[in-house]
Structure 1
Amino acid sequence: MTNALVVIDVQESFRARPLWSSVNNPDVVKNVGLLVEAARAAGDPVIWVVHAEPGTGGVFDPESGFVRVVDELTPADGEPVLVKTVHNAFTTTDLQHRLTVAGIRSLTICGLRTEQCVETTTRVASDLGYEVTFVTDATATFPIPHWNGGSTLSAEDVVARTEYALAGRFATIRTVAEIVGG
């Protein structure tokens, strides 16, 4: 067992936001579920990560009740749910320690948002020496308005940019079907 599946921010907080209506990949939860099943069948650890913004009063504030894995997916006994407060899953959690202790050298990464927490975690993992597989169709994102009021970048363009930036530099890009064999 040298690979782990890291599921990032597949949490109810996102679905509680109006922005969810513009999600680019309505199958993200189903696809993440397929990766979870495959990882468990292979005996690979599954590590769940959720994002929290304590004290903000928003949907990412733990007091909101939304900072939990989506209702359709249930962490199994022994699968940790780590709570992060920054964009990557390493800096404010003990993820790296857990991976080191378990002898994990490669990661399969999926979750929300493609270009934000999932990409950032992928980059940090690569910098830490992990071999990373980024499963794009088990990620999701939203259109991004330009910071100065210019045009909006479509979710499809966000995903394409993320793949261009990661492929061959920080990760290998794969599909759910390539991972689960179907």
Structure 2
Amino acid sequence: MSRAALVVIDVQESFRQRPIWAHASQPDIVDQVNRLVDAARRRGDLVVWVLHAEPGTGGVFDPALGHVRLIDGLAPAAGEPTLVKTSHNAFTTTNLQQVLTLAGIREVTVCGIRTEQCVETTTRVGCDLGYEMTFVTDATVTFPTPHRDLPADAPLERILADPRTLSTADIVARTEYALAGRFATVRTVAELTDPVAVGA
């Protein structure tokens, strides 16, 4: 029995419904995730799929609208659990910890959307719960993030034009600095899937 799991977080259609998707940091996220999933399955690792839902909100994360589903090209295999969360991290509002405990998992690799939000938060909580966490930077997605003083309803054009907007490159770099050596080992898809790199 494997002691490792891959947790795929919020790679769902909801995000593609927003105009800012055109500015995603990793537009080939489906291919990147599939590379990790294929490698995990070959090793016999557990693959867990997580979706984010905000019932009753009428927004893109409201299950009633039909967008709370994996992006086309991703599909769980038989026996791979799909959990639905309502918090930022994948532990608090799901039975993820129970799933991992019952499977004897001690090492958890995470990927998904968004880099600095749900994926990073899951990484931090997982570390605090005692798991050995691996954060796969180039299998996460983030978006340009507006300054806190910008109105919540600011149009995308204004967000992109604002010099205070944090770029996706800056967000990824900040997340790596915050996690590495503290909460997780930061790796790339190639490092986890390339036979030469894996064996190094």
Using structure 1 for the length normalisation, give the TM-score.
Answer: 0.98
Q: Does 1:173 align with 2:186?
A: yes
Equivalence for 2:175: 162
**Per-residue deviation at 1:97?**
0.5
Deviation for aligned residue 1:52:
0.2
Give the greater-gyration-radius structure (CA).
Answer: 2
- Residues 23-172 of structure 1 correspond to what in structure 2 (within 5 A)? 23-149=24-150, 151-172=164-185
* SS of residue matched to 2:112: strand
What does the per-residue CA deviation read over 1:31-80, in whole Å, with 9 as the maximum and x for residues that have no partner?
01100000011100100000000000111000010001111111111111
Task: Note the aligned Cα RMSD (angstroms).
Answer: 0.9
Runs of 4+ in 1 over 4 A off after TM superposition: none
Distance 2:75 2:182 in 1: 32
Report the residue type matching 1:98 in the other structure. Answer: V
Cα offset for 1:18? 1.1
**Corresponding position of 1:19:** 20
Whole-angstrom CA distance in 1 between matches of 2:43 and 2:71:
23
Specify the SS of the correspondent of 1:144. coil
Separation in 1, partners of 2:61, 2:194 = 35
SS at match of 1:57: coil
In the aligned structure 1, how far is the partner of 2:136 from the partner of 2:121? 14
SS at match of 2:116: helix
Structure 1 residues not aligned, in runs of 5+: none
Displacement after TM superposition at 1:28 (Å): 1.4
Percent identity (aligned): 69
Deviation at 1:29, TM superposition (A): 1.3
The offset of 1:164, in angstroms, is: 0.2
The number of aligned residues is 182
Unaligned 5+ residue runs, structure 2? Answer: 151-161, 196-200
SS of the equivalent of 1:4 reads: strand
Cα distance in 2 for residues equivalent to 1:62 and 1:3: 30
Deviation at 1:9, TM superposition (A): 0.2
How far apart are the structure 2 equivalents of 1:169 and 1:29?
28
- Residue 142 of structure 1: CA displacement? 0.2
